[in-house]
């Protein structure tokens, strides 16, 4: 029986446990990060390409629009919140909400989008489909939306046909390409270098102790991040300390997930020496760090390091597209989703300012602006849609979670937590209920179900 089909699991069940870095081990100050990333993205569009400077208004003016999980119909400039079966639950044209009548006029009475099936099956993006499911992407949704608004305003009508995807994609590349750290370019990395702790929180002592205990218990502990080594090492030094390497058996940088898991030919994604990127590494060693790589060779290395023929691997990360779906779908890894939305939307049995009784450590502080940017009245809960009467709420025994991203959580994550601190003080042998657990009052959410789901339980 696979872990995904079992009703409970424990970290002690696994031979190897891996961690993502950004928004998992490294918690960002989102109230500062979101507005600044937005400024970086629109700077090139306005100053160099001459787009309407109105798009450069502060992100805070439209903070309720920004939410995790929006899917964009690139051709028509419409944003969607989907049910797990493809029903358009809510939509907007640019930043303006669409009425039920407008949605049905554009997408028919069934409210289905022609690209949904491929989106759900592959979680890939192309010239027609774009989605915003992580905290680096989310400010970009407002860039697209305001570009649509500006184009419509100039034309004096809704155009439903736009051709600025190339320019916006170029802005994303300027800000996020990994070479920009060394070049000190793109806007984001120069600001980060000024003072990293203005954008990130140091790791709590409880998480540091948690990583130590995993290694001491005999687990093979690894880091795998899509960040390049120069930026990634800086993050680790400021979150874990100068001795960051001692927490892991091996570290993989620039893994370029999800490609790490999906490339069928491992020779096209070799492991590279971290100091000499032109040097291919044919034998990985414990205690070292590497760049790029592939799942085929990495699993052989894990099996060898753990003295197993088929090592059980758990991976913990925040991105459903990169950290949850691909390792579950293509590598048979057990995945744990970091979902800060749980904390911001509220957890059953806990007040917002309280700590769960099962732990003693301090959380990163709740921030009002950060909360407002994660919780959206326009789009509703990340986990559920309650206003549509014809949306089915029953799915394999879990009655409430009915959104597209809820589908990926319950299908590809074994359990979900708001932050690592919520489990850091628990015994390694602690057994978590999974999303396969028959008790729907608990499901796979730890320490408890998000409040928006409680009325369906």
Task: Report the distance separating Cα 221 and Cα 232, nearest Å.
Answer: 17
Residues 234 and 372 in one domain: yes
Contact 145, 65 (CB under 8 A): yes
Residues 345 and 402 in one domain: yes
Residues 179 and 221 in one domain: no
Report the sign of the C-alpha dihedral through residues 117, 123, 127, 131, in that order.
positive
Helix/strand/coil for 81: strand
Task: Report the distance separating Cα 239 and Cα 306, nearest Å.
Answer: 27
Residues 283 and 211 in one domain: yes
Residues 138 and 263 in one domain: no
Residues 183 and 300 in one domain: no
Tens place of pLDDT per residue across the chain (457 aa): 445 568 899 999 999 999 999 999 999 999 999 999 999 999 999 999 999 999 999 999 999 999 999 999 999 999 999 999 999 999 999 999 999 999 999 999 999 999 999 999 999 999 999 999 999 999 999 999 999 999 999 999 999 999 999 999 999 999 999 999 999 999 999 999 999 999 999 999 999 999 999 999 999 999 999 999 999 999 999 999 999 999 999 999 999 999 999 988 999 999 999 999 999 999 999 999 999 999 999 999 999 999 999 999 999 999 999 999 999 999 999 999 999 999 999 998 875 444 444 443 444 456 888 998 899 999 999 999 875 544 444 344 344 678 999 999 999 999 999 999 999 999 999 999 999 866 554 589 999 999 998 876 6
Give the residue numbers annotated as catalytic, written as ranges: 20, 22
Contact 30, 364 (CB under 8 A): no
What does the pLDDT read at residue 456?
A: 65
Task: Report the distance separating Cα 123 and Cα 100, nearest Å.
Answer: 26
Domain end point (choices 145, 174, 193): 193
Residues 189 and 99 in one domain: yes
What does the pLDDT read at residue 248?
A: 98
What does the pLDDT read at residue 87?
A: 96
CATH, residue 406: 3.40.50.1000
Of 437, 379, 439, 383, nearest to 409 by C-alpha is: 383
What does the pLDDT read at residue 73?
A: 97
Q: What separation in angstroms does the CA of 275 have from each of 119, 176, 230, 252, 283? A: 37, 21, 10, 13, 16
What total of structural domains would you count in the chain? 2
Task: Note down the domain range covering 243.
Answer: 3-27+200-456
Residues 179 and 267 in one domain: no
pTM for the complete prediction?
Answer: 0.93
Helix/strand/coil for 426: coil
Residues 376 and 245 in one domain: yes
Contact 41, 175 (CB under 8 A): yes
What does the pLDDT read at residue 3?
A: 57
Helix/strand/coil for 72: strand
Give me the DSSP letters along 97-131.
EPPHHHHHHHHTTTT--TTHHHHHHH----SSEEE
Residues 219 and 141 in one domain: no
Place of tokens 């802005």: 171
Domain end point (choices 133, 167, 193): 193
Residues 320 and 398 in one domain: yes
What does the pLDDT read at residue 436?
A: 84
Task: Report the distance separating Cα 368 and Cα 389, nearest Å.
Answer: 32
Domain end point (choices 178, 193, 208): 193
Task: Report the distance separating Cα 80 and Cα 100, nearest Å.
Answer: 12
Residues 185 and 211 in one domain: no
Find the distance separating the first CA and the last CA of the chain, reported in whole Å: 27
Contact 36, 373 (CB under 8 A): no
């Amino acid at each position: 029986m696979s872990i995904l089909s079992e009703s409970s699991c424990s970290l002690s069940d696994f031979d190897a446990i891996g961690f993502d870095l950004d928004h998992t081990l490294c918690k960002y100050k989102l109230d500062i990060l979101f507005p600044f990333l937005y400024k970086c993205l629109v700077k090139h569009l306005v100053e160099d390409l001459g787009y309407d400077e109105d798009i450069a208004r502060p992100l805070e003016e439209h903070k309720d629009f920004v939410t995790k999980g929006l899917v964009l119909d690139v051709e028509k400039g419409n944003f969607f919140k989907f049910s797990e079966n493809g029903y358009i639950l809510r939509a907007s044209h640019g930043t303006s909400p669409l009425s039920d009548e407008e949605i049905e006029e554009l997408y028919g009475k069934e409210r289905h989008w022609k690209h949904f099936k491929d989106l759900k099956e592959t979680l890939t993006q192309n010239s027609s489909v774009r989605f915003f499911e992580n905290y680096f992407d989310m400010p970009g949704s407002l860039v697209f939306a305001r570009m649509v608004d500006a184009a419509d305003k100039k034309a004096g009508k809704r155009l439903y046909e736009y051709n600025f995807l190339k320019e916006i994609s170029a802005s994303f590349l300027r800000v996020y390409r990994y070479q920009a750290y060394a070049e000190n370019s793109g806007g984001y990395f120069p600001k980060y270098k000024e003072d990293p702790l203005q954008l990130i929180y140091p790791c709590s002592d409880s998480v540091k102790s948690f990583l130590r205990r995993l290694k001491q218990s005999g687990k093979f502990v690894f880091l795998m991040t899509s960040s390049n080594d120069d930026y990634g090492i800086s993050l680790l030094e400021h979150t874990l300390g100068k001795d960051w390497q001692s927490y892991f058996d091996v570290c993989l940088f620039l893994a370029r997930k999800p490609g790490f898991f999906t490339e069928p030919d491992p020779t096209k994604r070799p492991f590279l020496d971290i100091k000499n990127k032109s040097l291919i590494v044919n034998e990985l060693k414990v205690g070292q760090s590497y760049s790029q790589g592939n799942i085929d060779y990495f699993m052989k290395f894990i099996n060898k390091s753990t003295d197993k023929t088929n090592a059980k691997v758990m991976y913990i990360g925040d991105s459903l597209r990169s950290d949850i779906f691909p390792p579950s779908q293509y590598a048979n890894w057990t995945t744990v989703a970091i979902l800060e939305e749980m904390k911001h939307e509220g957890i059953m049995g806990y007040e917002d300012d309280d700590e769960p009784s099962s732990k003693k450590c301090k959380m990163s502080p709740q921030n009002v602006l950060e909360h407002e940017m994660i919780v959206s009245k326009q789009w509703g809960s990340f986990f559920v849609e309650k206003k549509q009467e014809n949306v089915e709420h029953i799915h394999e025994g879990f009655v409430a979670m009915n959104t597209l991203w809820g589908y990926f959580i319950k299908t590809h994550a074994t359990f979900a937590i708001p932050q690592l601190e919520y489990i850091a003080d628990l015994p390694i042998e602690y057994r978590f209920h999974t999303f396969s657990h028959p008790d729907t009052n608990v499901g796979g959410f730890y320490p408890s179900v998000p409040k928006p789901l409680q009325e369906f339980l």
